[in-house]
Chains A and B, each alone.
Chain A
């Protein structure tokens, strides 16, 4: 019996239908004509960078040790001793900056083309949440290298939470795991960075894309009406735009 039949018997769904549905979702998605301009293609860039961050981030946890004595030392070890460690860490480090920059580009585009207007307000709000999540990623990730700069950035950053009325002090103690920045803070930030934030951001990204697909991309005036398929034109376009962002960064 062939593998295909074996699988079909144990997972009985209509495979032709399954392929057709996926084709419609991923390959034949209708893209409006104005998306041929790169300025309208910046939304997929942070998404691709996010997947890159996930891959390189997982790889980094293979060597990173979140303890005050070892954090800086293990980052040094990754950068200097581990084969291609500098490359993985560099991708993760610069990818994070690129994510912020491309998110700002994307938000600028949405803002100035009024793409946030009814019925897409909810998606704008989710987008802002995604931006805040990315900032949280950057903040917690920055503190993990545990050098002087990041230690004091953590101290100052968590201090700001103290100014929040009523819950400020509580938030500070929660983030630092005590009154001071200690080993507790480091392990907390590590857990938040690799355990808490990734599922959250993936969830919000999924909702963001689902809402986008339900309403379709907003179409500004002044462009020829019409659509083309996601693959190949748009597919390659977003890859090129994504590759362009780090190229600018480096």
Chain B
């Protein structure tokens, strides 16, 4: 008799232990998932690498136009380094063009003028041309474009 009672209670004990264990696992997993949901993972900014030129291809002080998608960028060979400028005017977003003879960028919309280092030298643009990160690897010149993220959740 006594033994049977003991057996019964042990069985009950194991049963409730199992139930409580499962409930705890469920609650903890749920809480963990909710935290994962609430805290966005740290994202490394991803860049896309484009080959934009070879050393010696562009003479010093000259620029080369390259199309990325629909918008042009300009690779400029300055004395010490290469620079890549966005072809979008910083005023109201027209497409600028490189004036080979004058060695400067010209925006036809409101006559904005930028020199070959991107600085504003005339017209309404409020700030210099936007630049892209440039790296030289051996004889090759690369530019880095940030990967686009959809929407405002960078």
Contact surface of A with B, Cβ cutoff 8 Å: 59, 62, 70, 73-74, 76-77, 81-85, 87-88
Contacts and interface: CB of A to CB of B under 8 A. Distances in A.
9 contacts: A59-B34, A62-B38, A77-B150, A82-B37, A82-B40, A83-B36, A84-B37, A85-B37, A87-B37
B69 interface: no
Contacts of B151: 70, 73-74, 77
B41 interface: yes
A74 B153 CA distance: 9
A82 B34 CA distance: 11
Nearest to B33: A84
A62 B39 CA distance: 10
Interface in B17-42: 33-34, 36-38, 40-41
Contact of B41 (A59, A74, A77, A83): A83
Interface in B27-67: 33-34, 36-38, 40-41
A62 B153 CA distance: 13
A66 to B, nearest CB: 15
Nearest to A89: B37
Contacts of A81: 153
A73 B36 contact: no
A77 B153 CA distance: 8
A59 B150 contact: no
A87 B33 contact: yes
A195 to B, nearest CB: 21
A87 B30 CA distance: 11
Given A59-B34, A82-B37, 10 more contacts: A59-B37, A73-B150, A81-B153, A83-B36, A83-B37, A83-B41, A84-B36, A85-B37, A87-B37, A88-B37
> Top 7 A-B pairs ranked by shortest CB distance?
A84-B37, A83-B36, A73-B151, A84-B33, A84-B36, A88-B37, A77-B153
Contacts of A84: 33, 36-37
Contacts of A74: 151
Contacts of B34: 59, 88
Contacts of B36: 83-84
Nearest to B152: A70
Contacts of A77: 150-151, 153
Contacts of B38: 59, 62
A62 B36 CA distance: 13
Contacts of B33: 84, 87
Contacts of B150: 73, 76-77
A73 B41 CA distance: 19
A77 B150 CA distance: 9
A59 B151 CA distance: 20
B149 to A, nearest CB: 9
A219 B38 CA distance: 46
A74 B40 CA distance: 14
Interface string B61-80: 00000000000000000000
A83 B40 contact: yes
A87 B40 CA distance: 15
Nearest to B16: A232
Contacts of A73: 150-151
A73 B151 CA distance: 7
A89 to B, nearest CB: 10
B13 to A, nearest CB: 14
Residue of B37, B38, B41, B151 contacting most chain A CB atoms (<10 Å): B37
